[in-house]
């Protein structure tokens, strides 16, 4: 259940008098029906619990049922769940004397420890059509797309939302040229003004296209400046979740319906907690098993935050090579028995049904 209007208005002063900004949508093409990912057993149970909780009691009209059915067909796909350098590390695989257990596993095809830059894709299904909305396009984005777009029958990108302006979030913007040259005319980018200013330096030729050599086919992007207040991407409401990503560095998480996504965080401002209430699925930064860094939650701090936020289910993302998928998941499973906490590590290619 999404936060009530009063809570949003309290967290975003002045929102009551200003309507959420709507941007002109780009053309979208419905993707084919997707087959359930073979490793997605936990998602099946999560989907069932969502369906049961949404059914409620009493009589539901046919139109309401149809609308709810459409919402339940939306999906979230993890395009990447790793750190900036990705897993495995070259330095680990080439070390002359030491063996890194996680990187060694990650080198195996299909191993869940293989992780690229954190990114998700929301396949938003409504009665009027389907849109594919990406959050972050980092350095490894094109490699992720090469693997997961064909796997899940994806083709268009109807919008890219940016969390912050580090290379693991924007380093792949140039790779969007494959879409704007061969699939669609343009891609809308939704970005905070502070991060747009960084892009003017790092990707100046994508913003000021007058400097591009005639005939060069760079990405055709439409930049839309977002603020820390709700906005629309096509017909999906997106609620920013402001967080700190190191001292004095602002990053954004986002809420989509009952899903809250916070990929890069070292601290959560008090006002953001109000926007996390009644969260069905929380996707949270958890860098390493022992401690936090100056810019990311470690596992102990992430668990503290989960106990405070109280989501129904949590999936961690942004894991480094000290986080062994099977071992950490085995440890996390005990929390269900001891505290009733449903927490797991995500992995690249994980796909789950969501309510948007």
Q: Give the CATH number for residue 120.
A: 3.60.15.10
Instruction: Tell me, yes or no, whether 94 lies in a domain.
Output: yes
DSSP conformation letters of 83-113: -TT-BS-HHHHT-SS---HHHHHHTSTT-TT
H-state helical runs in 242-324: 270-273, 299-309
In a domain, 319, yes or no: yes
What average pLDDT does range 37-47 have in this prediction? 41
| Higher pLDDT, residue 31 or 129 | 129
pLDDT of residue 7: 38
Q: Report the C-alpha dihedral over residues 277, 47, 127, 7, rounded to 10 degrees.
A: 0
Assign 24 to helix, strand or coil.
coil
Strands 343-345 and 313-317: parallel
Band (329; pLDDT cuts 50, 70, 90): very high
Q: Determine, yes or no, domain membership for 139.
A: yes
**183-237: per-residue pLDDT in tens?**
999 999 999 999 999 999 999 999 999 999 998 999 999 999 999 999 999 999 9
Task: Look at 39 and 328; give whichever has higher pLDDT.
Answer: 328
pLDDT of residue 124: 97
- C-alpha 248/C-alpha 115 separation (Å) is 28
Give the count of domains, the chain. 1
Instruction: Classify residue 127 as exposed, middle or buried by CB count within 10 Å of its CB (0-12, 13-18, 19+).
Output: exposed
- How confident is the model at residue 341, as a pLDDT? 98
Residue 79: inside a domain: yes
Reported residue count of the chain is: 356
Domain assignment present for residue 65? The answer is no
| Residue 273 and residue 305 in contact, taking contact as beta carbons nearer than 8 Å | no
Which range of residues forms the domain containing residue 317? Answer: 70-348
pLDDT at position 136: 98
User: Per residue in 112-168, pLDDT tens?
Assistant: 999 999 999 999 999 999 999 999 999 999 999 999 999 999 999 999 999 999 999
**Cα 239 from Cα 3, distance rounded (Å):** 10
Question: What was the pLDDT predicted at 68?
Answer: 62
Look at residue 55 and give its three-state secondary structure: helix
Asked whether residue 338 is domain-assigned, the answer is yes
* pLDDT tens, residue by residue, 50-94: 443 333 333 334 455 566 665 568 999 999 999 999 999 999 999
Task: Give the helix/strand (H/E) hosting 77.
Answer: strand 75-80
Domain annotation covers residue 45 = no
**Residue that has been written with the tokens 């998480």 in this structure:** 253
- The residues with which 159 forms a beta bridge, in sequence order, are 133
Percent of the chain with pLDDT over 70: 80
* Strands 221-226 and 231-233, sheet pairing: unpaired
Specify whether the CB–CB gap between 295 and 83 falls below 8 A. Answer: no
Is residue 30, in this structure, part of any structural domain at all? no
């Amino acid at each position: 259940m999404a936060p009530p209007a009063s809570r949003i208005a309290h967290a975003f002063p002045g929102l009551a008098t200003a309507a959420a900004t709507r941007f002109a949508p780009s053309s979208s093409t419905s993707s084919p029906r997707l087959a359930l990912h073979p490793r997605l057993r936990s998602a099946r149970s999560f989907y069932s619990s969502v369906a049961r909780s949404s059914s409620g009691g009493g009589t539901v009209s046919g139109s309401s049922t149809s609308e709810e059915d459409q919402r339940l067909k939306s999906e979230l796909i993890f395009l990447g769940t790793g750190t900036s350098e990705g897993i495995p590390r070259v330095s680990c695989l080439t070390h002359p004397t030491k063996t890194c257990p996680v990187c060694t596993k990650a080198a195996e095809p299909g191993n869940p420890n293989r992780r690229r830059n954190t990114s998700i894709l929301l396949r938003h299904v409504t009665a009027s059509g389907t849109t594919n909305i990406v959050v972050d396009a980092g350095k490894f984005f094109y490699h992720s797309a090469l693997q997961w777009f064909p796997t899940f029958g994806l083709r268009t990108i109807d919008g890219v939302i940016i969390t912050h302006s580090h290379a693991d979030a924007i380093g792949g913007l140039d790779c969007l040229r494959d879409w704007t040259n061969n699939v669609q005319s343009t891609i809308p980018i939704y970005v905070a003004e502070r991060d747009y200013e960084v892009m003017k330096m790092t990707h100046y030729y994508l913003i000021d296209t007058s400097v591009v050599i005639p005939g060069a086919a760079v990405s055709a992007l439409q930049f839309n400046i977002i603020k820390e207040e709700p906005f629309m991407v096509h017909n999906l409401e997106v609620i920013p979740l402001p967080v700190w990503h190191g001292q004095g560095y602002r990053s954004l998480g986002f809420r989509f319906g009952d899903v809250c996504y916070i990929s890069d965080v070292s601290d959560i401002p008090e006002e953001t907690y109000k926007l996390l209430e009644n969260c069905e699925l929380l996707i949270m930064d958890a860098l390493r098993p022992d401690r936090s860094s100056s810019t990311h939650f470690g596992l102990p701090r992430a668990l503290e935050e989960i106990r405070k936020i109280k989501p129904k289910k949590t999936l961690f993302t942004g894991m480094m090579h000290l986080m062994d998928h099977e071992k950490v998941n085995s440890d996390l499973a005990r929390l269900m028995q001891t505290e009733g906490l449903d927490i797991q590590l995500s992995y690249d290619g994980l796909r789950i049904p969501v309510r948007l």
